[in-house]
Amino acid sequence: MSTASQPASPQPSDKGASQPSDQAASQPPGQNTPPRPAPAHHERDAASAPVPSASHLTEADRAHALERALPTVSHDDPSDPHASIYDHGFLRAAAVTLPVALGDPATNAERHLEVLGDLDAQQVGLAVFPELSLTGYSLDDLVMQEPLLDAAEEAVLTVLKASEDLMPIIVLGAPMRAKDRSRIFNCAVVIHRGRILGIAPKQNLPTYREFYERRWFAPGDDACDESVVLGGQFAELTPHGIITVEDVPGLKLHVEICEDMWVPIPPSAEAALAGATVTVNLSGSPITIGRADDRKLLARSASARTQSAYVYAAAGEGESTTDLAWDGQTFVYECGDLLGETERFPQGPRFTIADIDLDRIVAERRRQNTFDDNRRTHATSLEKFQTWESTSLFGPWETADVGDEADMDADADADVDAEEMLAPILLGRRRGAAQARHDASSAETGIEPRALRTPPPTGPLRRKLDRFPFVPDDPARLAQDCYEAFSIQVAGLVRRLSAIGGDKPGGARPVLGVSGGLDSTHALLVCARAMDLLGRDRSEILTYTMPGFATTEHTRSNAELLSTAIGASFETLDIRPAATQMLKDMHHPFGDGEEVYDVTFENVQAGLRYDYLFRLANHLGGIVVGTGDLSELALGWCTYGVGDHMSHYGVNAGVPKTLIQHLIRWVIAEDIFGDDATGVLQAVLDTEITPELIPTREGEKAQSTEDSIGPYALHDFFLYHLLRRGDGPAKTAYLAHQAWGDVEAGEWPAGYLEADERSFTRAEIKHWLTVFTKRFFSNQFKRSALPNAPKVLAGGSLSPRGDWRMPSDATAKAWLAEIEAEVPGD
Catalytic residue annotation: 131, 202, 258
650's enclosing H/E stretch is: strand 649-650
Instruction: For residues 700 and 696, give the distance between their C-alpha atoms in angstroms, rounded to a whole number.
Output: 6
Grouping H, G, I as helix, E, B as strand and the rest as coil, residue 567 is coil
Q: How far from each other are the two terminal CA atoms of the chain, in whole angstroms? A: 62
Rounded to 5°, angle at Cα 10 from 7 and 14: 105
Angstrom distance (rounded) from CA 233 to CA 456: 36
Q: Return the H-helix or E-strand segment holding 269.
A: helix 267-273
CB neighbourhood size of 418 (10 A): 7
> What's the CA gap between 538 and 529, in Å, rounded?
9
d(CA 488, CA 472): 18
Q: How far is CA 381 from the centre of its chain?
A: 31
CA angle 109/453/196 to nearest 5° reads 30
Cβ atoms of 815 and 728 within 8 Å: the answer is yes
Which uninterrupted H or E stretch holds 487? Answer: helix 475-499
Going by the DSSP 8-state scheme, the letter that residue 19 receives in this structure is: P
Beta strand 330-334 pairing with 309-314: antiparallel
CA–CA distance, 186 with 169 (Å, rounded to integer): 20
Rounded distance, CA 1 to CA 539, Å?
A: 8
Separation CA 275–CA 269 (nearest Å): 10
661-694: string of b/e by CB count within 10 Å (b at 16+)? Answer: bbbbbbbbbbebbeeebbebbebbbebeebbbbb
Kind and range of the H or E run holding 134: none
SS3 78: coil
Instruction: List, edge to edge, every strand of the sheet that includes 184-192.
Output: 195-201, 184-192, 169-177, 126-128, 90-97, 350-357
Residues 448, 39: Cα–Cα separation, whole Å: 54
Q: Quote the crossing angle between the two packed helices 813-822 and 762-778, to the nearest 10°.
A: 170
What does residue 625 show for φ and ψ, rounded to 5 degrees? -95, 120
d(CA 39, CA 42): 5
DSSP designation for 178? B
Task: Answer yes or no: are the C-beta atoms of 158 and 106 closer than 8 Å.
Answer: yes
Strand (E) positions, 108-212?
Answer: 126-128, 169-177, 184-192, 195-201
